[in-house]
A and B are shown apart, each in its own frame.
Chain A
Amino acid sequence: MSRVHSAAAFGDDATRVMSTADSPPDALAVALRRASNGDEHAFRLLYRAIQPGLLRYLRVITGADAEDVASEAWLQVARDLTSFRGELDGFRGWVTTIARNRAMDHLRHLRRQPVTDGPFEELAERPGSCDTEQSVVDAMSTDGALALIAKLPRDQAEAVLLRVVVGLDAKGAAQVLGKRPGAVRTAAHRGLRKLAELLKQEGVTLLRPSALKDMR
């Protein structure tokens, strides 16, 4: 989660929130405990810490409906949180599992391939520049990165996203995916290698969202 920080783009309240996320393990662990006891503000903290990564993951696997899927997942989380027992990592995995199951249901329902052209064209159209603090990643938009990751085979894309974007460890990602940690680790490593290759081939085009359509 060291990457999911530094957002000062959300106004006063949110800035406070995200500064909490700057020291994630402790602050969020406390938030989890409080939220379990009904603390609404704490729940908000958890939402803000987890939702962006979760949504990005969902966007890659479900495309345009990611927000709906995420919303449904959060409704369930909100409702069932008091019966959740576990630590922050477990919570993250729990939320992600709920969201993934919803996503799979959704895809099943739509009978459509998870990785299609749609999502990424849409990704490309999204304003990626509204982030105020993208210090490390000036050259590469979040959407461009997601679009690149989305070109991976699905298992690799999921493994990479769950680790890097959602912030799960190998074991947590494996639980979400219902696989062995070793298998997920392998998929993630392969995904990274493949990403490196893709980057070599088309990295430059990523800098221009308009080029995304050509990538597919």
Chain B
Amino acid sequence: MSAHRSRRLGRRTAERMLSGAPVDGPLAEVLAAAAAAGRESELAGEQAAVAAFRSARLADDVPAQTEPVRRFAGALTVKIAAAAAVILTAGGVAVAAVSGNLPGQQEDSKPVVATTSATTTQGSSQARSGGKRGGESGEAQPPKKDDDKNTPSPSLEGLCTAALTGNKAEHGNALDNPAFGALIAAAGGKEQVPAFCENLLATKKQNAPASDEQGKGNGSAKDNAPGPPDNRGQQKKSETTTHTGNGNGPNSQQPQGNEKKPGH
């Protein structure tokens, strides 16, 4: 086999090379060079990554692996704002389709407003006009944050939203994307994902208004709060971003990387 390897690469040899099996020849050398041991310069981001890991863990005082459900239930209220941003970007395509706006364009005014519709995953346009809870949730957030520690990773909600949105948008195979591995694992299987997600998001839906009212008694009373909700939302948004930044880095951006893809 090695005799005609150099002349015409056989499938088997190719597969061996691709799997990293030792093969002689110039081509194999190229591959070995490409895959050579890591260099120190390539690890320049290590400290930043570890720091992110550390702060994410600090924010995680409930061991997530053993009690994922409790973690999510407990964190839900805190996560609403973060989830809103996530959903906006996660379901970005769908939201954009509904509202006619791309997330990037109205980013400033929308994410917090979208808090209102965080659990509905639709109608960001209606959320936009009904900025009612944009202001409210903005005010209600900081206390919640204190109550509940700075929980990171709205990832399951984000993934759920993306998955459900993706399905609705006839990207039904979005779950094939490995990015959904965590979600599938948490749900206990790909088939379980829709039910799991609906459950998760429904739980959040129930919790969210309740805790809003708790956190800020007059919150929901201000349904049609006068004044410019967008501005308030904007302020709060940046605050939120800062907070979540403590715990988990570019929270609102991250699912974007995952979820945009099925949409495009």
Contact = CB atoms under 8 A, between A and B. Distances in A.
Contact of A72 (B30, B32, B257): B257
A161 B48 CA distance: 25
B167 interface: no
B257 A144 contact: no
Contacts of A51: 38, 42-43, 45-46, 49
B178 A93 contact: yes
A88 to B, nearest CB: 13
A176 interface: yes
SS class of chain A's interface: helix, strand, loop or mixed?
helix
Nearest to A85: B185
B64 A148 contact: no
Interface stretch (B117-125, B149-157, B231-239): B149-157
Interface stretch (B53-61, B128-136, B200-208): B53-61
Contact of A175 (B6, B40, B56, B177): B177
Interface string B237-252: 0000000000111110
Contacts of A141: 33
A185 B177 CA distance: 18
A155 B26 CA distance: 22
A85 B181 contact: yes
Interface residues of B, number: 69
Nearest to A49: B38
Interface string B8-52: 010100110111111000110111111111111111111011101
A40 B249 contact: no
B34 A142 contact: yes
Contacts of B6: 196
Nearest to A68: B45
Given A80-B153, A163-B18, A189-B14, A195 B40 contact: no
A75 interface: yes
B199 to A, nearest CB: 16
SS class of chain B's interface: helix, strand, loop or mixed?
helix
A210 interface: no
Contact of A73 (B156, B186, B257): B257
A14 B253 CA distance: 31
A149 B52 CA distance: 32
Contacts of A47: 43, 46, 49-50
Contacts of A105: 256-257, 260
Nearest to B159: A83
B34 A48 contact: no
Interface in A1-56: 1-7, 9-11, 14, 18, 35-38, 40, 43-44, 47-48, 51-53, 55-56
Nearest to A43: B53
Given A70-B45, A79-B254, A94-B181, A189 B9 contact: yes
A76 B182 contact: no
Nearest to B187: A85
A74 B45 contact: yes
A215 interface: no
Contacts of B176: 175, 178
Contact of B31 (A6, A74, A164, A170): A164
B64 A189 contact: no
Contacts of B60: 38, 82
Interface in A134-175: 134, 136-137, 139-142, 144-146, 148-149, 160-161, 163-165, 167, 169-170, 172, 175
Nearest to B49: A74
B53 A98 contact: no
B2 to A, nearest CB: 14
B101 interface: no
A79 B40 contact: no
15 contacts: A38-B60, A51-B43, A52-B37, A55-B42, A76-B250, A82-B65, A83-B156, A85-B182, A93-B178, A105-B257, A105-B260, A130-B40, A164-B17, A167-B35, A192-B27
Please list the 10 inter-chain residue pairs (A to B) with the smallest Cβ-Cβ separation, ordered nearest first: A85-B185, A52-B38, A7-B37, A145-B33, A78-B53, A3-B35, A145-B34, A82-B64, A74-B49, A78-B52
Interface of B: 6, 9, 11, 14-15, 17-22, 26-27, 29-46, 48-50, 52-54, 56-57, 60, 63-65, 68, 152-153, 155-156, 176-179, 181-182, 184-186, 247-251, 253-254, 256-258, 260-261
